[in-house]
Structure 1
């Protein structure tokens, strides 16, 4: 498919996991992709891996999403390298799980900084470019089902992911006039290195709560991101799509 033919996308936290799957889907759909990651070497490796796998080109970039300077430089890189910016995916994230009693202020601040501040900085930097383009653009924010239901041991993560929903809806109202769309995805239990590191009993108990009876694959989040990035969702903004296999619906 060529849903993103000739367009340029930035994906943060894309050197592995869900972010890399989104990059693969976008490249296959024709997009030029900038893979941003805190680990610049891994971003470059991922970009090299993508070259030749689809119709689009790719580039890697080191980026701390909590830094406004880094995010602005990331957008400038995409514009200078590929001539514009059509899609921005705020995917970068970390976990610092602990109960409130054991969670330090630093652990709370780190998660809020990467997830919520990072998504705000990315949304702002991307929208500043997209609103000046005739075709506007699409911003996709990766939230989590944790931001809907809250999970014990994740007050920092749940708060950040809930905040991304509010950010998405508010930003959609601010930039819709310029045909800049802002939507969010709330993944459920997705099979990644992080979730597979969970103790087996905890992992299996979470799978039992899923009506479809299995964890999701990163590629299944990537396909929803592709839908939101493309013209297939041209009349959607401020929407939050749950991709959970039915869990917590």
Structure 2
């Protein structure tokens, strides 16, 4: 009884301090190695959604490559993932903004496992400035990664799968912001990401290449660290500015990505 009363008091204090209280428990289901020996590339795989997806795919038996721009952060993520299976995870330093290196980096990725069946395009950046303080340089930084980099990465992926006759999967991690009108770099980039995701999906569906997009809401990732510090505390995942009153968990997105990956075949 004393423990129960103490828990009520603690929760009341958390509610008062943050304006709400939400506890989230995500049950990840083992699918019985449904991705066994499937070769997967996850961009932006050193943290957030990308890391969670790489982790889940490894547990389902996939051979995974994670990419990122920060070599130190990427190696740290690879080291942690090796605890699951040291022989099925590799990392590749890759800046998607560099158009000149796109073909060679793509070729290096293919050589690691002698091909790729599933591409998860997760790399993305966020913009902090607000109207009317935008600058052309900040616009280019956001668009070059979230839209231009994604566009040409998808072109490489689609061309590769078509020429090799691979009936594979492409999964783009976009954002709910792509569905919200806003005078904002980030929202505009995600509107574009939704557009090209649906566009290439229509173009390649007849080839047996299935493309899907996942558009999460406000999630517990590095991009939203300021909101997390403002609303969340310990295991309280309340978020006042989200329609569900809570943050999205990266594990939830990883589960959906696994569902979209199932059934790919050559």
The TM-score, its normalising length taken from structure 2, stands at 0.78
Within 2, Cα distance between the matches of 1:190 and 1:130? 31
Match of 1:141 among 150, 172, 176: 172
Could you list the runs of 5+ residues in structure 1 that have no partner in the other structure?
235-249
**What's the secondary structure of 1:34's corresponding residue?**
strand
CA distance in 1, matches of 2:110, 2:95: 19
1:197 to 208, 226, 230: 226
Aligned residue for 1:10, secondary structure, equals strand
User: Which 5+ residue runs of structure 2 have no aligned equivalent?
Assistant: 1-31
Aligned partners of 1:69 and 1:24: how far apart in 2?
30
Match runs of 1:61-210 below 5 Å:
61-151=92-182, 155-198=184-227, 200=230, 207-208=239-240, 210=242
Q: Report the CA distance between 1:202 and its aligned residue.
A: 10
Are 2:251 and 1:222 aligned? no
Contact 2:231 2:239 in 1 (8 A): no
Pairs aligned (count) = 231
Q: Secondary structure at the residue paired with 2:133?
A: coil
Report if aligned partners of 2:126, 2:223 keep a CA contact under 8 Å in 1: no
Following superposition, which runs of at least 4 residues in structure 1 exceed 6 angstroms of deviation? none
Q: Does 131-140 or 15-24 show the bigger shift?
A: 131-140
Q: CA deviation at 1:25?
A: 0.9
1:6-50 alpha-carbon deviations (Å, 9 max, x no partner)? 111111111111111111011111111111001123222212221
User: Could you list the per-position Cα deviations for residues 201-235 of structure 1 after superposition, in whole angstroms to 9, with x for gaps in the alignment?
Assistant: 6999x823545442121111111111112228x9x
| Corresponding residue number in structure 2 for 1:34 | 65
Match of 1:18 among 49, 62, 83: 49
Q: Which has the higher strand share?
A: 1
Q: What's the offset of the Cα at 1:188?
A: 0.2
Aligned to 1:239: none
Q: Deviations over 1:56-97 (max 9, x none)?
A: 611111111122343333332232111211111111111122
| Structure of larger gyration radius | 2
For 1:118 and 1:37, the matched residues in 2 are separated by 13
- Shift, 1:125, TM fit: 1.2
Mean CA deviation greater in 71-80 or 167-176: 71-80
Name which of structure 1's ranges 29-38 and 124-133 shifts more when overlaid on structure 2.
124-133
Distance 2:232 2:134 in 1: 21
Distance in 1 between residues matched to 2:150 and 2:138, nearest whole Å: 18
Are the aligned partners of 2:92 and 2:109 in contact in 1 as well (CA < 8 Å)? no
Q: Deviations over 1:163-182 (max 9, x none)?
A: 01110111112222221111
